[in-house]
Amino acid sequence: MLFELYTIWGQNMKITTVVITFLVGGLLISSSISAMIAESHKEDILNELREKRLQDIEKEISVPTPTGLYHTYQEMTDLLHDLADNHSDIMSLTSIGTTYEERDLWMVKLSDNVEEDESEPEVLLMGAHHGNEKPSFEVLIYFIQHMVINYTKENTDDDGDGSVNEDPIDGEDNDEDGLTDEDPSEDRVREVINNTEIFIIPMFNPDGVEAGTRKNCAPNHGPFGFKGEITSYGVDLNRNYGYRWFFLFIFPELYLGSTHYNDNSNVYHGERPFSEAETRAIRQFVNSHQIEICLTYHTYGELILYPWGYTKLPALHKQKFVSIGEGIEKINKYALAQSIFLYPTLGDACDWLYGRKGIIPYTIELGTSHAPGDPEVIREMSITHVGVNLYICETAESL
């Protein structure tokens, strides 16, 4: 009797095992199929963008933008001084260097005990490597204001629905009221400011911003600076970092087009690595800090890009890039990919930050055009990326 029971039980176990294996197998197959579809969808996005982006970059000269929509360098400078004066306990403003046209490279620090270098995780946020990519500094100016204003605010029922902080900026409709991210948490802002040190350079290329150009405005004297006369103006700062910079001369067929040694090209990499005042300033800053994560904002493409930009080989920390990147994906709904799959570059900020400094950096390509003309688009993108920046700070805390 007992024996029979055992055999029935045993048979049931076998059937159950078969069923379970079948189910799990099916799940695995279907999830890997959907992952494959997601991947090939991403490839489509990148393939479509690639040609258009490269053409756009080469034909860009000066892009005029409607006045009043974006801050000018001077307006931003005045605003940052005001904010730092009025919130001096949590915000400081320093210049990490000056440009060829003698504009300051403003660096905002947000943290409690802001004048002290505490042992808190450090995050770096940068905008406007390219002067014609205006939303890239606008989202950071918005973030700075959001942080200092909410730091001292009571928890508030922002949408007046009777509950407080029920829908944080995470890209989801947490309270299922049909609205997304409409009641962010003031406590969350306080926690991030108290537990991290956030460094923000909203306008890394102010000369380019003022001229409306991708490159900075320093004069060139031929590709290597050997010529007496001025041959052209400007270096693409996102090709001037000293990581694999020389590969252009070894493998020109791999990189020419999206990186260039001709000084009149819009992707000109400069006379030598770190030939520019801007890249030298950030190198010095990074060398004297312990940055954990960096976001560098650009336009456009709705992409989240992680190293490498110079090779298709996966980075050693690919898993980390993907898992943190998926967190960003959830908030802004952009597509996450390795940089090179947009196109290959040499000397971009992220390859250097990761390759030389061990920092976890992402390039965020905002929006669907260089400089949208609709203020509502800029506002929405700014709010979403407050969420992204907060998430990155919280991630830095748990690294």
Binding segment toward Zn ion, per CB under 5 A, in 57-65, 124-132, 174-182, 283-291: 124-132
Residue 365 known to be catalytic:
yes
Burial class for 112, CB neighbours closer than 10 Å (0-12, 13-18, 19+): middle
Taking CB atoms, the residue at the shortest distance from Zn ion is: 298
Region near Zn ion per CB under 5 A, out of 22-30, 125-133, 225-233, 367-375: 125-133
DSSP 314-367: PPTTHHHHHHHHHHHHHHH-PEEEEGGGT---SS-HHHHHHHTT--EEEEEEES
Report helix, strand or coil for 146. helix
Report which of 123, 170, 78, 79 is spatially closest to residue 292, judged by C-alpha positions: 123
CB of residue 263 to ligand 0X9, shortest distance in Å: 17
Supply φ then ψ for residue 357, to 5 degrees: -115, -5
Select the binding partner of residue 111 from Zn ion, Ca ion, ligand 0X9, none (C-beta < 5 to 8 A, by kind): Ca ion
Q: Does residue 196 bind Ca ion (CB under 5 A)?
A: no
**Contact (Cβ atoms closer than 8 angstroms) between residue 63 and residue 300:** no
Which residue of 90, 298, 321, 386 would you call a contact of ligand 0X9, by CB under 6 A? Answer: 298
- Residue 325: both structure tokens together: 């990147």
260 binds Zn ion (CB under 5 A): no
Site for ligand 0X9 in 235-254 (CB under 6 A): 238
Q: CB under 5 to 8 A by kind: which of ligand 0X9, Ca ion, Zn ion, none does 181 bind?
A: none
Each residue of 279-302: b (16+ CB within 10 Å) or e? bebbbebbeeeebbbbbbbbbbbb
Closest to ligand 0X9 by CB, 52 vs 272, is 52
The site map against Ca ion for 90-119 (x = CB under 5 A) is ---------------------xxx----x-
Element (H, E) at 105: strand 104-110
Contact criterion met (CB below 8 Å) for 180 and 173: yes
* Binders of ligand 0X9 in range 359-388 (CB under 6 A): 363, 365
Q: For the CB of residue 300, give the shortest distance to ligand 0X9 in the complex, in Å.
A: 7
82 binds Ca ion (CB under 5 A): no
**Backbone Cα Rg of the chain:** 24
Q: Which of 77, 339, 382, 389: binder of ligand 0X9 (CB under 6 A)?
A: 339
**Residue 53's binding partner, choosing from Ca ion, ligand 0X9, Zn ion, none, with beta-carbon cut-off 5 to 8 A by kind?**
ligand 0X9
H/E element, 299: strand 291-299
- Cα 172 from Cα 203, distance rounded (Å): 30
Tell me the site size for ligand 0X9, rule CB under 6 A.
17
Beta carbons of 184 and 167 less than 8 angstroms apart = yes
- Tokens 């000397």 map to which residue? 347
User: 99 is in the binding site of which of ligand 0X9, Zn ion, Ca ion, none (Cβ under 5 to 8 A by kind)?
Assistant: none
Catalytic residue among 182, 326, 365, 394: 365
Is residue 45 close enough to count as binding ligand 0X9 by CB under 6 A? no
Of positions 298, 345, 389, 395, contacts Zn ion by CB under 5 A: 298
Residues marked as catalytic? 365
Chain residues binding Zn ion by CB under 5 A are 130, 133, 298
Chain residues binding Ca ion by CB under 5 A are 111-113, 118
Chain residues binding ligand 0X9 by CB under 6 A are 53, 57, 130, 133, 238, 298, 305, 309, 339-340, 342-345, 348, 363, 365
